[in-house]
Structure formats: C-alpha cells, structure tokens
Amino acid sequence: MVAVHHRTVSVDGLDVFWREAGPADAPVLLLLHGYPSSSHMFRHLIPALGDHYRVIAPDHIGFGRSSAPSADDFDYSFAALADVTGRFLSTIGVTRYTIYVQDYGAPVGWRLALADPSAVEGVVSQNGNAYEEGFVPDFWDPIWADGAERTDATRDALRPALGREAVEWQYTHGVPDPTTVDPDAWEHDLTLLARPGQDDVQLDLFRDYATNRELYPNVHAWLRESGVPVLAIWGRNDEIFAAAGAEAFRRDAPGAQVELVDGGHFLLESHLDLVATTLDSWHRDQVAPSRRAVS
C-alpha cells in the first residue's frame, strides 16, 4: 500500500496544502485540479501512481485546505494562482515535472510552462482546455458575457454555478452509469463552497477566465517549439470542454496521444484505472526516454 502524505507549507504567508506520494527521486507528476474541487479529486489517482512516481497535488489558493483569504485580501486571478503554485514548487524544491491538468488546472499549468518551459517534461490534459474548439457555447457564453460586460447582472447570472445542482451535474453529466460516481466527491466540494466569502472568490475567477484565452497562441507556440510529449485523455461526453479540444492538441503537438473515453468532466470518478494505466504507459514510452537523454 502506497502511503499518501498530507502536508502544508507557507508560501509568502499563504498556506499551501498538498497531497504527496512516491519516492523522492522518482519522476514528478504535478497534478493540478479544477473547479469546484481540490487535490481531493486525485485522492485515488495518487496512490495508484505512487509506486513509480513522485506525485504532488496542491490545492489552489481558495480551494481545499489551502488558505482561502477573502476576495478583498487576495487577487483571485489565474495569474495569481499560477504565481503561488510556482513559488510553492520552488519552496519544496521541485524543478522538473510532468503536469496533469484538469479544468482550472490547465490555465495554471500553461502559465507555469510559459514562465519556465524547461521545467515541463510532459503534459497530460484530462479535460484541460487549450483551444477555442474546446469551449461548449451553452456553458461558456454567460461567462464570456460577464467577462466582457462586468455588470452586477452578468455576475449574478453565474451564481447558480455555485449551487448543489450545478456541482452535482459537473460530476454526473456524460457518465454512462452515474452510480459509479461517489456522491462524497460533490458533497466535499459543496461543503467548501459554503464557506463565507466563497461566492466572491469563485465569481472573481469566473470573470477572470477570459484572460486564459489570450494565452492560447503562446501555449500553442510552446507546444510546437518544445516538442513536449502530450497525452490528452478526455471524457468525450463533457459538456463543458468538448472532445474537439482534445483533438486540437494534434495541431501543435503532432505526436500527441489522444484518448477519448466514454465519460464526463471528472473522468477519474468513473475511469480511474484506465487513466492511471494509460498515463503510466504513455510516460514510459514518451517522457522517460527524453528524461534519460537529458540526464
């Protein structure tokens, strides 16, 4: 049984909580979670990979067990989340890693890669978007409207996304058998979303999401120029990030491995074993050889 450690470190006065497993000298997998979850979404993947990798999964500021200052006391933007994550990695001494990005984890991960391209040995995108084709209009149009108009009305229109129905839907939509999804997953998220001030935290991040689209041309250039190995393993029934977003990686990473799975947004809840075995095989075939060449 792989031991999973639960740790907290101070980064410029902010507590960053993370889950970690695996040998200290093993290749690092950096798992970056999405909304409305935390490192909790990786609770089963971490021990599944911890035999052969050093697996590190931090909670973003405002999420999980990391510090969650009020929106008046912290700039809840994706640039700020990435900045804290970069300083967290520096604090714990991690300089090279493969990123596993899902949902919000993607724009955090892209910023880390653009800030220090040589640090990223591989990219695993599990419903982590980097292309316009990935946006499902019915879901994203209200978010774009708020980012553009910035009115109380457009902001309030997004409040239902913080509620029980929307959070549960994120976990169950597109899953052929929703009984395979553990209800504790969304109950965990809802408990944390109910904390005082969380509505402003999350609404600020919704409003900031448009800044991530502006990064995409730079991300595409990095993929082309670096030749970094890419695995896009995607719940093909996702109604937030469409499967076309996975296929689009081939445009800038021609060697990308694209796996479309009969699942939804939180693929690990229904297809844990498939994701773990696919990731391990891809890393051994695509990332490990380049790591040996560098060393």
- Supply the residues annotated as catalytic: 265
Sheet holding 54-58, edge to edge: 5-11, 14-21, 54-58, 28-32, 97-101, 120-125, 230-235, 257-261
Cα dihedral 266/290/84/220 (nearest 10): -70
Query: If we measure between CA atoms, which residue out of 49, 67, 50 comes closest to residue 58?
Result: 67
Task: Give Cβ neighbours of residue 190 (< 8 Å, ≥ 6 apart).
Answer: 36, 164, 167
Q: Name the one residue in this structure whose structure tokens are 């084709």.
A: 133
Specify the DSSP element, H or E, that contains 136. Answer: none
Residue 64 neighbours by CB distance under 10 Å: 23
The beta-strand segments (E) located in 2-152 are 5-11, 14-21, 28-32, 54-58, 97-101, 120-125
Four-residue CA torsion sign, 211, 216, 222, 225:
negative
Report cis status (omega within 30 of 0) of the bond before 196.
no
DSSP-derived pairing of the beta strands 97-101 and 28-32: parallel
Rounded to the nearest 5°, which phi and psi values hold at 80? Answer: -70, -40
Q: Name the one residue in this structure whose structure tokens are 């695993």.
A: 124
Rg of the chain on CA atoms, in Å: 18
